[in-house]
Amino acid sequence: MDVSLAQSIAGLSLPLAAMVTILLPMLLALGLGVVIHAIFTPQELAANASVGYVKFGFLTEVYAVIAALTLVGAWDIYQNSRDIIQRETNALYMMALATEAYSNPEQAELRAAMRYSIRNYASEVVGEEWLLMQGKGRSESSEIAFQLLARTFLDAEPVTNAQQGIAQNIPQWISNVSETRLARLSIMSRTISSMVWSLLLTASVAVLAFQWFFGGSRLAIHYAMGVFISIIIGGVLLTCVKLSFPFSGQSPLLSTRPFLVLMEIR
């Protein structure tokens, strides 16, 4: 399973992504059941039961470990992305509040330029960089917007004691925005690798297939087991995909709402 395929699934709406990650394993499980029972007789499957249960138990433990590690990695990506957005928008909000200190009549143009630079930067994040974080297109104007933001605030000349106090904090706020912006834009390079996705997918298919190598009095019980197991596996896969790509999808786990609020600053 390639990273681009996982991101494509994450980009789907939640109902459609659920259909892909749950319905496909369910169809695979039922299809494997039909194939295996067409190849082997019930007597052959029953004879394999004593050894098969032990092997299936070992296989499910391996799958559980792989799924747990993938979930932990996906949750870490989501949590880091959420914290990055919070730190970036917090710094921008403090900069927006700081513009109120530049209230002298002769500083009206400077105050307007400060607020415009914040709105412009937030607009570029929403309109350009968010697509970049979804793996779509590229952004050059957002770098210009950040440079405008930095220069407008760093070049502001304080004339009162309050403004001098704020000027001492501006470099730190700019540094926070720069650091979190770079971390946000590089989040795609720190996602779960194709090897881990392939390992999870292989273990999932193995669990779905191996459950059929047992005998039983009623075939319907095995089909019911296949459905339930495929639902669990599909749910785990859907959760991992959505957490690993929190910016993707029609209703992403992390939205542009904080930046939309900053775009309303006047």
Q: Determine the pLDDT at residue 180.
A: 93
User: Which carries the bigger pLDDT value, residue 144 or residue 135?
Assistant: 144
* Number of domains observed in the structure of the chain: 1
Q: pTM of the predicted model, to two decimals?
A: 0.83
In b/e form, how buried is each residue of 44-70, taking b as 16+ CB within 10 angstroms? Answer: ebeeeeeebeeebeebbeebeebbeeb
User: Which carries the bigger pLDDT value, residue 45 or residue 104?
Assistant: 104
Q: Determine the pLDDT at residue 159.
A: 87
Q: How confident is the model at residue 177 (pLDDT cuts 50, 70, 90)?
A: very high
Query: How far separated are the first and last CA of the chain, in Å rounded?
Result: 47
Q: How confident is the model at residue 239 (pLDDT cuts 50, 70, 90)?
A: very high
Angle subtended at Cα 97 by Cα 96 and Cα 99, rounded to the nearest 5 degrees:
70
Q: Determine the pLDDT at residue 259.
A: 92
| Amino acid sitting at position 148 | L
Domain membership of residue 31 as a residue range: 3-262
d(CA 175, CA 196) in angstroms, rounded, equals 34
pLDDT tens string 51-86: 777 778 888 899 999 999 999 999 999 999 999 999
Angle subtended at Cα 106 by Cα 105 and Cα 108, rounded to the nearest 5 degrees:
70
What percent of the chain shows pLDDT beyond 90?
36
Could you count the other beta carbons within 10 Å of the beta carbon of residue 110?
Answer: 17
Whole-Å CA distances, 31 to 42, 208, 209: 17, 10, 9
- Mean pLDDT value of segment 122-141: 81
pLDDT tens string 187-227: 777 778 888 888 888 898 888 888 777 665 577 777 888 88
Q: Determine the pLDDT at residue 196.
A: 87
Angle subtended at Cα 68 by Cα 64 and Cα 70, rounded to the nearest 5 degrees:
120
d(CA 125, CA 131) in angstroms, rounded, equals 9
Residues sharing a CB contact under 8 Å with residue 66, sequence separation 6 or more, in sequence order: 199, 200, 203
